[in-house]
Structure formats: C-alpha cells, structure tokens
Structure 1
Amino acid sequence: MRSEVITVRTGSRPVVRDITSEAEHFISGENDGLLHVFVPHATAGLAIIETGAGSDDDLLTALDALLPTDERWQHRHGSPGHGRDHVLPAFVPPYATLPVVGGRLMLGVWQSLCLVDPNGDNPDRQVRFSFLPA
C-alpha cells in the first residue's frame, strides 16, 4: 500500500472543496486497485457529489437545516454552534473508498470527490490518500 497526506486550505467559512484532481494526481501511474481517502479530523467529512451546478452549496444548506449552528449542542468550545461540526461525521463520513481501473478513478460523469468542512475555526485540513493495488 502507498499512502500520502496532503494539506487542503479550507478557509474560515463552511466549504465543500473538490479534491478530485488531487486524488487523480495521487493515483497517476497506478493501474487497478482501490483508493482510500481519509480525513483525520473530528469536524470534516468526504462526499461524492456533483459540483459547480449548485449541489455543493445545496449540501451546506442541507447541513445547516439538519445541524443548525445554535446553542442546542452540549459540545460548546469554539465558535457558537460548533458542537454541530462534531456531529457532522455521523452524516458525512470522514472516509471514502473509490475503485481505480487502468489508473483512473471510476467516478460517474458528474461525480466529484469533495472535502466537506463546516468548521471555520480550522482553516487547514489534512487528507490521507492510500492506494491499495489489485
């Protein structure tokens, strides 16, 4: 297995950041296998969604509706409502495994691999790519 950690700048606002090109760069030169992606953070996750047509903003809107940033959360350090960020990984998992065939990610036409980070308190995130050859 080959593994590498990259740093992704997410900034100070909630964001859905497309990291497909970083994943493709990591697997370039490989053949068949599995790409496992892991975000070692308690307040971020990974989603495979369409981007650029509004779905990325729709995901953030849906998360705000499902997990509002208010005072209901028992976990209270950080920004107001930050406890919801710690619940996020139960809904948007911190991992994804993708098939690689002939050195290419087997994503659908409109699918992208995205880092979902609602937590503006941490502007930089680590993402671990691991490739397991077939």
Structure 2
Amino acid sequence: MSHAFATSVLHVVTGTTETVTDLTADCERFLARHAGSGDGLLNVFVPHATAGIAVLETGAGSDDDLLAALHALLPADDRWQHRHGSPGHGRDHVLPALVPPHATLPVIGGRLELGTWQSVCLVDTNKDNPERQVRLSFLG
C-alpha cells in the first residue's frame, strides 16, 4: 500500500468584519491536484490563535447564525482579561475553544466526503487581523 502526503497553504483575506469564509472549493482544488483517485484524510488547520475551522451549511443563513451565536456566547465587551487590540478582542482568543483550529475530513476516490449541505469554513471573529493562512494537508 503506498502512502502519499501533500500540503499547501491558502492565503485568505477575511477583512475587518467577522466572517465565515467557505473553503470547500479550495479544498476540492487541492485534492484534485494531490489526491488523484485515492482515499485518505484531508486536514484543514488555521495557525492563528483567533480563528477556527467549522463544517456547516452556508448560504442559507447558518453562517450568519453561527456568528450571531458566537457573539451571544462571546460578547465583544470589556469582560475579557486579554485586552490588547480592539475592544472585546479577548473573546477572539476564546473562539478556538468553541470552533477548533482544525478539521480532519475523509477523502474517498479523491473527493471530499461531505454531507449534502456541509461546507468547510474558516471562522474569523478577529477584526484586527484581515489576512489568514490555512494549511491543507492530504494523507492518503
């Protein structure tokens, strides 16, 4: 059995507002280049202390619902001990405990095995950091 490993970094501009950015097409392009028709795992990792990776439905309001829920759970106010950056920025450092900085997903026949309405998304509530890196790694 042969094993393949490939990795690449995406550069994502999230801007200065809270965002959920769909990375599914980027993941599929990466797999088309590196997975062939093989089976394996895709790991998606964001090496930032204030962003996460989520698998959820987008485009039907779920992405906005996620941001609203995070805002309700993690208000951008002065309650946080971590106080540099924009007011309430400390909450951005708590985000990865709720939306982890990684996801590992099955790849079958070179294709990402997501449910019908699932997308791979970068969740970024940090308005102070408009550019992010996301590492894609395939192990097959």
Alpha-carbon deviation of 1:6? Answer: 1.0
List per-residue Cα deviations over 1:62-112 (Å, max 9, x = no partner). Answer: 000000000000000000000000000000000000000001100000000
With the length of structure 1 as denominator, give the TM-score of the two structures.
0.98
RMSD: 0.6
Match of 1:5 among 4, 9, 16: 9
Q: 2:71 aligns with which of 64, 67, 71?
A: 64
User: How many equivalent residue pairs?
Assistant: 133
d(CA) in 2 for partners of 1:99, 1:75:
36
- Match among 88, 103, 106 for residue 99 of structure 1: 106
**Runs of 4 or more off by more than 2 Å in structure 1?**
none
Corresponding residue for residue 110 of structure 1: 117
Residue 138 (structure 2) aligns with: 131
* Structure 2: distance between partners of 1:107 and 1:34: 12
> Does the alignment pair 1:22 with 2:29?
no
| Residue identity in the other structure for 1:48 | V
Partners in 2 of 1:22 and 1:10 — Cα distance? 15
Structure-2 separation of matches of 1:12 and 1:71: 19
TM-score between the two structures when normalised by the length of structure 2: 0.94
Q: Deviations over 1:29-63 (max 9, x none)?
A: 41110000100000000000000000000000000
Partner of 2:50: 43
Percent identity between matched residues is 69
For structure 2, list consecutive stretches of 5 or more residues without a partner in the other structure.
none
CA distance in 1, matches of 2:116, 2:44: 20
Unaligned runs of 5+ residues in structure 1 are none
